[in-house]
Amino acid sequence: MLDVDVRKQRGAFVSEVAFSSATPGVTALFGRSGCGKTTTINMLAGLLRPDRGRISIDGTVLFDAAQGVDLAAEERGIGYVFQDSRLFPHLRVRDNLRYGERRARRRPHRLKFDDVVGLLGLATLLQRRPAGLSGGERQRVAIGRALLAQPRLLLLDEPLAALDAPRRAELLPYLEGLRDRLSLPMVFVSHQFEEVLRLANHVVVIDDGRVADHGDVVSMSQSTALRAIVGTESLGTVVEGIAGALDAASGLTQIQVGRGQLRVEAAALRPGQRVRVQLLARDLILATAEPGSLSVRNILPGTIARMEPDGERAWLAFTDIGGALAMVRVTDDARRALALAAGQRVWVLIKAVSLRGHVFSGPGSA
C-alpha cells in the first residue's frame, strides 16, 4: 500500500493531502493547475519536507514527523519524471540511461538495460543526443533513465503536458505498457481526465490543496468533486467490460458491459481484453419508449437510478444499463416534458462513433 497523510504550508497556500492506494498500480493525482498536485509528489520524493504527517510504501516508512523519520531523496528509491525531461544535453541517449543505472546503487537490478530499451522503443535512439529528439522521445528516455535507477515508486509529474496531441498519442501506449508489464507502483499527475481514464487504477481529486474525493476510476467518474473540475464537455461515467469479436461488416467491436453490450469503433481490440469506455453525458440520449429505425447503434434498456440537478437548466439522469451506470445530461425542459424520475424505465441511445475502448489489463482494475 501507498499511504500518504501530509500537511505543508507555503505562504498562504496549505496543502493537506491524505489517501491510501493499493500497490502495484497507478495512482492519479487529478485537479486543476495550481491545486497542489506537484507539491504532493515533491513531498513523496523527498524534495519538499512536510510540516507534519507520514508517508510509507509497502511497509517502508519514508517520512514520519512524529517518529523523526525523514529519508533523504536519494535514499527513498523513488524515480521522478518531470514535465520537461531534464536530460543531460551533452550526453547521448545511451549515456543518459546509464546514468540512471549508476543511481541504482546497491538496489537489486530487476529492470535490465535491454529490457527497458525494448519496452520504451529506444533502440534506434541510443546514439542520438537530446537536441535531436522529439518531445515524446525525450520523455521516453527520461522514463527509461528513471526506471534504470530501480525505483520502488515511479513519480510522473504531468509527463504529457508539454507535448502536442500527436506526441501525447505516441507516448500514452508506452505508459500503458509500463503499467501492464511492470509490478511497479506509479503516481501520475494530470489535469486531463482522458489520460487518467487510460492509465489509472486509483484517482485522488485534489482541489485547493486538499483531497476532495478519491477512489477507483469507475466510481470516481460519478464523483461530484471530479464533475466540478472536468466541466460539461468532459462529463461522463466510465464503464468497464470485456471485448468480444469484431464485426467485419460494420467495423464495430462488441463489448460486454454488465448484462448489456456496447458496440464501439475499436478494431484493434482482441476478444477477452478488459476495456474501459467513457460515456460522455453530452453524447447520450434518453427515450421513454423503445425507439426504432434509427442510425444509432447502441439502444440499451435501463432504469433511472437517480436524478441530480446540473446547474440551473439541466439535470443528470444516472441510469442503470444492466449493471453499469450511464450519466445522461438532459435539459430541465426535457425532464419536465418526459416526467423523468428515479425508477422510470427508459432507453439510452449512444452513437457508436462517439465511443472509444481503451484496453485496461493492469492490476487493481475497478
Are 260 and 321 in contact, with CB atoms under 8 Å apart? yes
Residue labelled with grid coordinates 464523483: 223
Average pLDDT over residues 36-54: 97
pTM for the full predicted model: 0.91
Handedness of CA 361, 362, 364, 366 (dihedral sign): negative
Residue 192 and residue 306 in one domain? no
Query: Does residue 179 sit in the same domain as residue 301?
Result: no
Whether 127 is covered by a domain: the verdict is yes
Q: Interhelix angle for 135-148 vs 165-181, to 10°?
A: 20
* Contacts of residue 268, Cβ cutoff 8 Å, sequence gap at least 6: none
Q: Which of 230, 251, 272 is the last residue of a domain?
A: 230
Please give the Cα distance from 119 to 334 (Å, whole number): 51
**Structural domain total, the chain:** 2
Q: Write the CATH number for 334.
A: 2.40.50.100
* pLDDT at residue 364, as a whole number: 42
pLDDT digits (tens, 9 = 90+) for 130-188: 999 999 999 999 999 999 999 999 999 999 988 888 889 889 999 999 998 898 999 99
| Alpha helix stretches (DSSP H) within the chain | 37-45, 93-103, 113-119, 135-148, 165-181, 193-199, 217-220, 224-230, 332-338
Q: Report the SS3 class of residue 48.
A: coil
The verdict on 189 and 63 lying in the same domain is yes
Do 30 and 154 belong to one domain?
yes
Express each pLDDT in 3-21 by its tens digit: 999 999 999 999 999 999 9
Q: Does residue 180 share a domain with residue 109?
A: yes
Q: pLDDT tens-digit profile of 228-276?
A: 898 888 889 999 999 998 988 888 999 999 888 999 988 788 899 999 9
Query: Cell 531523496 belongs to which residue?
Result: 73
Helix, strand, coil percentages in the chain from 3-state DSSP, rounded to 5: 30, 35, 35
Kindly state whether residues 168 and 93 are assigned to the same domain: yes
Share of the chain above pLDDT 90, in %: 77
Domain range holding 338? Answer: 236-359
pLDDT in tens, 355-365: 878 888 654 44
